[in-house]
Every structure is written in structure tokens, then in C-alpha cells.
Amino acid sequence: MKNLMLFRHGKSSWDYDVKDQDRPLKPRGIRDSHLVASTFLSRSKELPERVYSSTANRALHSCMIFCRTLEFPLEKVELNRNLYDFSGESVLHFVKCLDNSISSAAIFGHNYAFTNIANQLGSMHIDNIPTSGLVLIKFPVDSWSELVSGTTELILFPKEIR
């Protein structure tokens, strides 16, 4: 059994003249990331064994909030440039190449990639994963490379849990 958690970064700010990779979270993005992480902790028995984040500041900051809430050691978070992807191709390749000794992984990244992957691999259609949105999908396989169709187990969107 493999479990994949997709967490779209929190709402980011366009108020600064910085590169896309460097855009920070807005205060709302920080609050919503805390809200979703806390709700996940109270509702899920499936805590990730490994955590991976896009190299973008907004994804990493969302990831840090989540990890602190779950008491997951920040030094064990791995950054990967392939997660700074908007189509989903690089993210899907990354996931399918995970070490099979890992049964549960959380990744922090971007849309449209995450909505595309959730719809491609999960059992429920999602129009759009909003900022700070989380989707947990379970797969009845032993190898990450075998991911084809899983069951969407949990969807947490800030607007729906406020």
C-alpha cells in the first residue's frame, strides 16, 4: 500500500518585485496552511514517512508549517527542483521514482500539476485544488512505479473547514 499526500502551497503574495520562485506567502496563506495542517493531524491516521517540497519559497514555507504542526523534523524535508512543475509531468515522474521502502509520502508544490495528478490518479474529480488544499490518495500497490489508480481518501480545502 502506498499513500500520497499532495499539498498545494498557501496563497502567495504578488506585492514584491521578486522572481516567481521567491514569492512569499500572504498572511492568509500562512493561516490557511496552519488550519489545513491542524485539521489533517486531527483527521488522519496516515502521517507521512517522507516529506518533499518544491524549491519555491511559498511551497517550502507551507511545508515548514505543516511539518511543525505534525512534529516532523525539518532537517528531513527534501527539496527537489522537479516539484517546481505546473503541468504535473515532472511531479508524477518524481513520485513514480520514489524508493519503495517508503509507504507514505507528502509533497508540497503547485497547480495545475497537483489538480492534474489528483484527477489522474485519484477516485474523485476535483475541479481545482485551492491554495493550501490537501488531497490524500491511497494506492493498493507495492511499488511507486505501479501507480495508476488509487482511492481519494481525504480532501481538505481551507474554505470548507473554516
Where in the chain are the domains? 2-161
The pTM assigned to this predicted structure is: 0.97
Contact by Cβ (8 Å): 156, 8: no
Contact by Cβ (8 Å): 10, 25: yes
pLDDT in the model for residue 45:
83
Phi and psi based region of residue 88 (left: phi greater than 0; alpha: psi -120 to 50; beta: remaining) = left
Contacts for 105 with CB less than 8 Å, ≥ 6 apart:
2, 3, 4, 5, 48, 49, 50, 51, 52, 95, 98
Q: Which CATH class is domain 2-161?
A: alpha beta
pLDDT in the model for residue 46:
80
pLDDT in the model for residue 36:
98
pLDDT one digit per residue (tens) for the chain, 162 residues: 999 999 999 999 999 999 999 999 999 999 999 999 999 999 998 899 999 999 999 999 999 999 999 999 999 999 999 999 999 999 999 999 999 999 999 999 999 999 999 999 999 999 999 999 999 999 999 999 999 999 999 999 999 998
